[in-house]
Amino acid sequence: MSPASRCQISTTPSSSRPIKQIAGRGMTVTLRFFASYAESLGMSSLVLDLSDGATVADAVMTVGTMPGASQLPPSPLVAVNHAYAKQSQLLRDGDEIALIPPVAGG
C-alpha cells in the first residue's frame, strides 16, 4: 500500500504560496524543503498524512513522485525533529522532516 492516497492544493493564511497536502490515514507529518529542493518542488513545506508504520523512506518516496522531484537525489540527507535520521526510521504523528540539500562553501 502506498503511504499517500490523494493530493490536494491549498494555501495557508500566512502565505499565498501553495502547499500540497497529501491525504491518507494514520499520522500527519510535515516535510520542510530548503534552497534548491524548495526551488525544484516549488514549495517550502508539505503536509503528508501517512499510514501507521511509515518510515522516512516512505515520505521521501512520496515526495519523489511529485513534479520537480527529479532534481532530488533518491536518498537525500534527512533530519526528523532536528536530528539526522536514517531512511529506515519510523515516523510518528506530528514529526517534522527536513530534506537537507548539499551545501557548498568557500
d(CA 77, CA 25): 26
Burial 60-76 (b: 16+ CB within 10 A, else e): bbbbeebeeeeebeeeb
Shortest CA distance to 32 belongs to which of 17, 21, 47?
47
Thinking of the domain 6-100, which architecture would CATH place it in?
Answer: Roll (3.10)
Place of cell 492516497: 5
Model confidence pLDDT, tens digit, residues 18-63: 444 455 458 999 999 999 999 999 999 999 989 989 999 999 999 9
Place of cell 501553495: 18
Model confidence pLDDT, tens digit, residues 53-103: 999 999 999 999 999 998 888 889 999 999 999 999 999 999 999 999 987
**What are the C-alpha distances in Å from 35 to residues 78, 91, 104, 106?**
14, 24, 12, 17
Contact 18, 29 (CB under 8 A): no
pLDDT at residue 7 above 70? no
